[in-house]
Structure 1
Protein backbone atom coordinates (compact mmCIF):
# COMPACT_ATOMS: atom_id res chain seq x y z
CA UNK A 1 0.00 0.00 0.00
CA UNK A 2 2.84 2.40 0.85
CA UNK A 3 4.42 1.73 -2.56
CA UNK A 4 1.13 2.59 -4.28
CA UNK A 5 0.83 5.87 -2.37
CA UNK A 6 4.43 6.78 -3.22
CA UNK A 7 3.82 6.08 -6.91
CA UNK A 8 0.61 8.17 -6.86
CA UNK A 9 2.43 11.04 -5.12
CA UNK A 10 5.23 10.89 -7.70
CA UNK A 11 2.68 10.90 -10.53
CA UNK A 12 0.84 13.91 -9.04
CA UNK A 13 4.12 15.82 -8.58
CA UNK A 14 5.03 15.13 -12.19
CA UNK A 15 1.60 16.35 -13.35
CA UNK A 16 1.93 19.57 -11.33
CA UNK A 17 5.42 20.23 -12.71
CA UNK A 18 4.36 19.59 -16.30
CA UNK A 19 1.07 21.52 -16.20
CA UNK A 20 2.58 25.05 -16.46
CA UNK A 21 4.70 24.00 -19.44
CA UNK A 22 1.63 22.69 -21.25
CA UNK A 23 -0.50 25.73 -20.48
CA UNK A 24 2.14 28.18 -21.75
CA UNK A 25 2.76 26.20 -24.93
CA UNK A 26 0.22 27.62 -27.39
CA UNK A 27 2.42 28.95 -30.21
CA UNK A 28 1.49 26.87 -33.24
CA UNK A 29 3.10 28.14 -36.44
CA UNK A 30 1.67 27.18 -39.83
CA UNK A 31 3.21 27.89 -43.24
CA UNK A 32 3.60 26.36 -46.70
CA UNK A 33 6.69 25.72 -48.75
CA UNK A 34 7.35 23.99 -52.06
CA UNK A 35 9.94 21.25 -52.40
CA UNK A 36 11.49 20.79 -55.86
CA UNK A 37 13.24 17.51 -56.63
CA UNK A 38 15.00 17.88 -59.99
CA UNK A 39 16.49 14.71 -61.48
CA UNK A 40 16.92 16.01 -65.04
CA UNK A 41 18.70 18.86 -66.80
CA UNK A 42 22.02 20.57 -66.20
CA UNK A 43 21.49 21.43 -62.51
CA UNK A 44 19.84 18.45 -60.78
CA UNK A 45 19.08 18.81 -57.07
CA UNK A 46 18.97 15.06 -56.49
CA UNK A 47 20.75 12.04 -57.87
CA UNK A 48 19.51 8.50 -58.20
CA UNK A 49 21.87 6.19 -56.35
CA UNK A 50 20.07 2.96 -57.15
CA UNK A 51 16.94 1.90 -58.98
CA UNK A 52 15.10 -1.39 -58.99
CA UNK A 53 15.18 -3.33 -62.23
CA UNK A 54 11.66 -2.81 -62.76
CA UNK A 55 3.54 28.35 -55.09
CA UNK A 56 4.71 25.86 -56.78
CA UNK A 57 6.66 27.83 -59.38
CA UNK A 58 10.42 27.41 -59.46
CA UNK A 59 10.70 31.11 -60.37
CA UNK A 60 9.93 32.10 -56.74
CA UNK A 61 12.76 33.09 -54.41
CA UNK A 62 14.56 30.22 -52.74
CA UNK A 63 14.20 30.27 -48.94
CA UNK A 64 16.18 27.15 -48.12
CA UNK A 65 17.27 23.66 -48.98
CA UNK A 66 15.95 20.21 -48.26
CA UNK A 67 18.71 17.85 -47.18
CA UNK A 68 18.29 14.17 -46.47
CA UNK A 69 17.43 10.83 -47.94
CA UNK A 70 14.42 8.87 -49.02
CA UNK A 71 14.40 5.15 -49.61
CA UNK A 72 11.76 2.72 -50.77
CA UNK A 73 10.27 1.07 -47.70
CA UNK A 74 7.45 -1.10 -49.00
CA UNK A 75 7.18 -3.98 -51.45
CA UNK A 76 3.45 -3.57 -52.06
CA UNK A 77 2.98 0.21 -52.43
CA UNK A 78 5.01 3.23 -53.50
CA UNK A 79 6.00 4.02 -49.90
CA UNK A 80 9.14 5.92 -48.95
CA UNK A 81 10.96 6.38 -45.66
CA UNK A 82 11.76 10.11 -45.51
CA UNK A 83 14.61 11.50 -43.44
CA UNK A 84 14.82 15.18 -44.28
CA UNK A 85 15.92 18.53 -42.93
CA UNK A 86 14.47 21.81 -44.18
CA UNK A 87 17.38 24.25 -43.77
CA UNK A 88 16.25 27.88 -44.11
CA UNK A 89 18.78 30.21 -45.78
CA UNK A 90 16.59 33.32 -46.24
CA UNK A 91 13.45 34.97 -44.89
CA UNK A 92 11.97 34.94 -41.39
CA UNK A 93 13.49 31.56 -40.49
CA UNK A 94 17.02 32.14 -41.88
CA UNK A 95 19.55 30.10 -39.89
CA UNK A 96 16.88 27.72 -38.58
CA UNK A 97 15.96 24.19 -39.56
CA UNK A 98 13.28 21.53 -39.18
CA UNK A 99 13.79 17.76 -39.09
CA UNK A 100 11.09 15.64 -40.74
CA UNK A 101 10.90 11.87 -40.44
CA UNK A 102 8.33 9.32 -41.46
CA UNK A 103 6.54 7.28 -44.06
CA UNK A 104 5.61 8.99 -47.31
CA UNK A 105 3.11 6.98 -49.35
CA UNK A 106 3.69 8.96 -52.53
CA UNK A 107 0.51 8.01 -54.41
CA UNK A 108 -1.76 9.20 -51.58
CA UNK A 109 -3.28 12.66 -52.08
CA UNK A 110 -2.08 13.87 -48.65
CA UNK A 111 0.77 12.34 -46.66
CA UNK A 112 1.54 13.20 -43.04
CA UNK A 113 5.03 13.00 -41.53
CA UNK A 114 6.38 13.96 -38.11
CA UNK A 115 8.52 16.94 -37.23
CA UNK A 116 10.92 15.45 -34.71
CA UNK A 117 13.15 18.43 -33.96
CA UNK A 118 14.61 21.69 -35.11
CA UNK A 119 17.29 24.35 -34.71
CA UNK A 120 17.36 28.13 -34.36
CA UNK A 121 13.81 29.51 -34.16
CA UNK A 122 12.59 25.92 -34.29
CA UNK A 123 14.63 24.65 -31.33
CA UNK A 124 12.80 21.79 -29.57
CA UNK A 125 10.28 21.69 -32.43
CA UNK A 126 7.47 19.19 -32.66
CA UNK A 127 4.60 18.90 -35.06
CA UNK A 128 3.86 17.47 -38.46
CA UNK A 129 3.84 18.25 -42.17
CA UNK A 130 1.24 17.47 -44.80
CA UNK A 131 2.73 16.75 -48.22
CA UNK A 132 0.76 17.12 -51.47
CA UNK A 133 2.27 16.39 -54.88
CA UNK A 134 1.70 19.33 -57.22
CA UNK A 135 3.67 17.91 -60.18
CA UNK A 136 4.91 14.32 -60.35
CA UNK A 137 7.72 15.22 -62.74
CA UNK A 138 6.73 12.53 -65.23
CA UNK A 139 7.25 14.90 -68.19
CA UNK A 140 9.50 17.62 -66.79
CA UNK A 141 11.85 15.58 -64.58
CA UNK A 142 11.04 17.98 -61.72
CA UNK A 143 8.81 16.81 -58.90
CA UNK A 144 7.11 19.59 -56.92
CA UNK A 145 5.59 18.85 -53.51
CA UNK A 146 3.68 21.34 -51.37
CA UNK A 147 4.47 20.98 -47.66
CA UNK A 148 2.07 22.51 -45.14
CA UNK A 149 4.01 22.77 -41.89
CA UNK A 150 2.37 22.71 -38.44
CA UNK A 151 5.05 23.28 -35.81
CA UNK A 152 5.46 24.29 -32.17
CA UNK A 153 8.87 25.25 -30.87
CA UNK A 154 10.33 26.35 -27.54
CA UNK A 155 10.31 30.13 -27.01
CA UNK A 156 13.76 31.61 -27.59
Structure 2
Protein backbone atom coordinates (compact mmCIF):
# COMPACT_ATOMS: atom_id res chain seq x y z
CA UNK A 1 0.00 0.00 0.00
CA UNK A 2 2.83 2.34 0.90
CA UNK A 3 4.56 1.70 -2.46
CA UNK A 4 1.44 2.44 -4.51
CA UNK A 5 0.84 5.67 -2.63
CA UNK A 6 4.43 6.79 -3.33
CA UNK A 7 3.97 5.99 -7.03
CA UNK A 8 0.69 7.93 -7.06
CA UNK A 9 2.39 10.98 -5.53
CA UNK A 10 5.26 10.75 -8.04
CA UNK A 11 2.75 10.71 -10.93
CA UNK A 12 0.86 13.70 -9.53
CA UNK A 13 4.05 15.73 -9.01
CA UNK A 14 5.53 14.90 -12.44
CA UNK A 15 2.29 15.68 -14.25
CA UNK A 16 2.03 18.99 -12.37
CA UNK A 17 5.51 20.13 -13.39
CA UNK A 18 5.50 18.69 -16.93
CA UNK A 19 4.99 21.27 -19.69
CA UNK A 20 1.77 20.88 -21.64
CA UNK A 21 2.06 21.35 -25.37
CA UNK A 22 -1.51 22.03 -26.41
CA UNK A 23 -2.89 25.05 -28.15
CA UNK A 24 -6.23 26.22 -29.47
CA UNK A 25 -4.98 27.00 -32.97
CA UNK A 26 -2.91 25.42 -35.70
CA UNK A 27 0.32 26.78 -37.09
CA UNK A 28 -0.28 30.03 -38.95
CA UNK A 29 0.47 29.78 -42.63
CA UNK A 30 0.54 32.91 -44.81
CA UNK A 31 -2.36 33.10 -47.26
CA UNK A 32 -1.09 33.85 -50.72
CA UNK A 33 -3.54 33.98 -53.56
CA UNK A 34 -3.34 35.41 -57.01
CA UNK A 35 -6.91 34.27 -57.53
CA UNK A 36 -8.64 37.31 -56.03
CA UNK A 37 -11.83 37.97 -58.01
CA UNK A 38 -14.03 41.03 -58.29
CA UNK A 39 -17.67 40.81 -59.32
CA UNK A 40 -20.17 43.63 -59.74
CA UNK A 41 -23.74 42.65 -58.89
CA UNK A 42 -26.84 44.63 -59.84
CA UNK A 43 -30.27 43.74 -58.49
CA UNK A 44 -33.38 45.14 -56.81
CA UNK A 45 -34.56 44.49 -53.25
CA UNK A 46 -38.35 44.56 -52.66
CA UNK A 47 -39.18 45.35 -49.01
CA UNK A 48 -42.93 45.03 -48.42
CA UNK A 49 -44.41 45.91 -45.02
CA UNK A 50 -48.05 46.10 -46.16
CA UNK A 51 -50.70 43.73 -47.46
CA UNK A 52 -51.67 40.16 -46.67
CA UNK A 53 -48.23 38.72 -47.43
CA UNK A 54 -45.57 41.19 -46.22
CA UNK A 55 -41.90 40.33 -46.68
CA UNK A 56 -40.84 42.42 -43.65
CA UNK A 57 -42.59 41.82 -40.32
CA UNK A 58 -42.27 43.64 -36.98
CA UNK A 59 -40.96 41.13 -34.39
CA UNK A 60 -40.06 43.46 -31.50
CA UNK A 61 -40.48 47.04 -30.41
CA UNK A 62 -39.21 48.93 -27.38
CA UNK A 63 -41.66 50.18 -24.80
CA UNK A 64 -41.15 53.88 -25.54
CA UNK A 65 -43.34 56.73 -26.66
CA UNK A 66 -42.66 59.21 -29.39
CA UNK A 67 -42.63 58.58 -33.11
CA UNK A 68 -45.32 55.85 -33.29
CA UNK A 69 -46.68 57.26 -36.57
CA UNK A 70 -43.72 55.81 -38.44
CA UNK A 71 -43.87 52.13 -39.51
CA UNK A 72 -40.39 51.74 -38.02
CA UNK A 73 -40.02 53.96 -34.96
CA UNK A 74 -36.80 53.84 -32.93
CA UNK A 75 -36.12 50.37 -31.47
CA UNK A 76 -38.28 48.46 -33.98
CA UNK A 77 -36.88 45.11 -35.11
CA UNK A 78 -38.09 43.59 -38.37
CA UNK A 79 -37.43 40.10 -39.75
CA UNK A 80 -37.23 40.08 -43.53
CA UNK A 81 -37.44 37.61 -46.38
CA UNK A 82 -37.47 39.91 -49.38
CA UNK A 83 -37.22 38.91 -53.04
CA UNK A 84 -34.25 40.03 -55.15
CA UNK A 85 -35.07 40.70 -58.79
CA UNK A 86 -33.20 41.57 -61.97
CA UNK A 87 -35.33 44.65 -62.58
CA UNK A 88 -37.35 47.05 -60.45
CA UNK A 89 -40.75 45.66 -61.45
CA UNK A 90 -42.27 43.19 -58.98
CA UNK A 91 -42.89 40.89 -61.96
CA UNK A 92 -39.19 40.93 -62.90
CA UNK A 93 -37.30 37.61 -62.67
CA UNK A 94 -36.51 36.63 -59.08
CA UNK A 95 -32.79 35.85 -58.72
CA UNK A 96 -32.73 35.22 -54.98
CA UNK A 97 -33.85 36.56 -51.66
CA UNK A 98 -32.49 38.51 -48.75
CA UNK A 99 -33.08 37.24 -45.24
CA UNK A 100 -32.14 38.87 -41.98
CA UNK A 101 -33.05 41.67 -39.63
CA UNK A 102 -33.16 45.41 -39.70
CA UNK A 103 -33.34 47.51 -36.58
CA UNK A 104 -34.47 51.12 -36.40
CA UNK A 105 -31.42 52.46 -34.60
CA UNK A 106 -31.64 56.25 -34.51
CA UNK A 107 -33.78 58.63 -32.52
CA UNK A 108 -33.01 61.64 -34.68
CA UNK A 109 -33.13 60.45 -38.32
CA UNK A 110 -34.46 57.34 -40.07
CA UNK A 111 -31.53 54.93 -39.83
CA UNK A 112 -31.52 51.16 -39.87
CA UNK A 113 -28.89 48.66 -38.83
CA UNK A 114 -28.94 46.01 -41.54
CA UNK A 115 -28.04 42.38 -40.84
CA UNK A 116 -28.68 40.73 -44.22
CA UNK A 117 -27.74 37.61 -46.16
CA UNK A 118 -28.36 37.97 -49.91
CA UNK A 119 -28.86 34.43 -51.23
CA UNK A 120 -28.74 33.93 -54.99
CA UNK A 121 -30.86 31.19 -56.60
CA UNK A 122 -30.19 31.74 -60.32
CA UNK A 123 -27.26 31.87 -62.67
CA UNK A 124 -23.55 31.60 -61.97
CA UNK A 125 -23.91 32.40 -58.26
CA UNK A 126 -26.80 30.00 -57.53
CA UNK A 127 -26.32 28.71 -53.97
CA UNK A 128 -23.94 31.51 -53.00
CA UNK A 129 -24.58 34.56 -50.86
CA UNK A 130 -23.09 37.80 -49.63
CA UNK A 131 -23.51 39.06 -46.07
CA UNK A 132 -24.05 42.70 -45.17
CA UNK A 133 -23.72 44.24 -41.74
CA UNK A 134 -23.90 47.99 -41.82
CA UNK A 135 -25.65 51.24 -40.91
CA UNK A 136 -28.26 52.27 -43.47
CA UNK A 137 -29.36 55.94 -43.30
CA UNK A 138 -32.57 55.41 -45.28
CA UNK A 139 -33.45 59.10 -45.54
CA UNK A 140 -30.47 59.51 -47.90
CA UNK A 141 -31.33 58.67 -51.49
CA UNK A 142 -27.92 57.09 -52.09
CA UNK A 143 -25.90 55.23 -49.43
CA UNK A 144 -23.36 52.43 -48.90
CA UNK A 145 -23.42 49.20 -46.91
CA UNK A 146 -20.41 47.06 -46.05
CA UNK A 147 -20.17 43.55 -47.50
CA UNK A 148 -18.55 41.60 -44.66
CA UNK A 149 -18.62 38.01 -45.85
CA UNK A 150 -20.24 35.40 -47.97
CA UNK A 151 -20.59 31.72 -48.68
CA UNK A 152 -20.39 29.45 -51.71
CA UNK A 153 -18.54 31.19 -54.53
CA UNK A 154 -18.43 34.35 -52.39
CA UNK A 155 -16.57 32.69 -49.51
CA UNK A 156 -14.39 35.24 -47.64
CA UNK A 157 -16.08 38.12 -49.49
CA UNK A 158 -15.58 41.77 -48.74
CA UNK A 159 -16.75 44.84 -50.54
CA UNK A 160 -19.37 47.53 -50.69
CA UNK A 161 -22.98 47.75 -51.81
CA UNK A 162 -24.19 51.08 -53.13
CA UNK A 163 -27.91 51.58 -52.61
CA UNK A 164 -30.37 53.90 -54.23
CA UNK A 165 -34.03 54.09 -53.32
CA UNK A 166 -35.89 53.36 -56.54
CA UNK A 167 -39.43 53.52 -55.12
CA UNK A 168 -40.93 54.39 -51.74
CA UNK A 169 -44.61 54.45 -50.80
CA UNK A 170 -44.66 56.92 -47.90
CA UNK A 171 -48.05 55.63 -46.67
CA UNK A 172 -47.19 51.91 -46.47
CA UNK A 173 -43.40 52.39 -46.34
CA UNK A 174 -43.02 49.64 -48.94
CA UNK A 175 -39.78 50.18 -50.86
CA UNK A 176 -37.82 48.98 -53.85
CA UNK A 177 -34.09 49.57 -53.49
CA UNK A 178 -31.51 49.29 -56.27
CA UNK A 179 -28.24 47.60 -55.28
CA UNK A 180 -24.90 47.89 -57.07
CA UNK A 181 -22.49 45.71 -55.11
CA UNK A 182 -18.78 45.30 -55.72
CA UNK A 183 -17.70 42.01 -54.18
CA UNK A 184 -14.08 40.90 -53.76
CA UNK A 185 -13.56 37.21 -52.99
CA UNK A 186 -11.18 34.29 -53.59
The residue aligned with 2:37 is 27
| Structure-2 separation of matches of 1:140 and 1:130 | 24
Q: Where in structure 2 are the equivalents of 1:5-24 lying within 5 Å?
A: 21=33, 24=34
Q: TM-score with structure 2 length normalisation?
A: 0.66
Choose the corresponding residue for 2:161, options 114, 120, 129.
129
Q: Give the alignment of 1:88-127 within 5 angstroms.
A: 88-127=120-159
Q: Deviations over 1:124-147 (max 9, x none)?
A: 111010111111122565310001
Gaps of 5+ in 2: 1-29, 62-66, 70-86
Highest RCO, 1 vs 2 (Cα 8 Å, sep ≥ 6):
1
Q: What is the aligned partner in structure 2 of residue 7 from structure 1?
A: none
CA distance in 1 between counterparts of 2:126 and 2:36 reads 23
Please tell me the root mean square deviation across aligned C-alpha atoms, in Å.
1.9
**Is residue 53 of structure 2 the alignment partner of residue 43 of structure 1?**
yes
How many aligned residue pairs are there? 135
Contact 2:161 / 2:179 at 8 angstroms: preserved in 1? yes
Is this contact kept in 2: 1:79–1:106, CA < 8 A?
A: yes
Task: State the TM-score, normalized to the length of structure 1.
Answer: 0.78
Greater Cα radius of gyration, structure 1 or 2 = 2
* 1:42 to partner: Cα distance: 2.5
Partner of 1:79: 111
C-alpha distance after superposition, 1:28-73 (max 9, x if no partner): 1112110001112222111123565242111111111110111111
- Choose between structure 1 and 2: higher helix proportion: 1
Q: Taking structure 1 as reference, are residues 141 and 113 closer, same or farther at Cα in structure 2, changes over 3 Å only?
A: closer
Aligned-partner SS, 1:48: strand
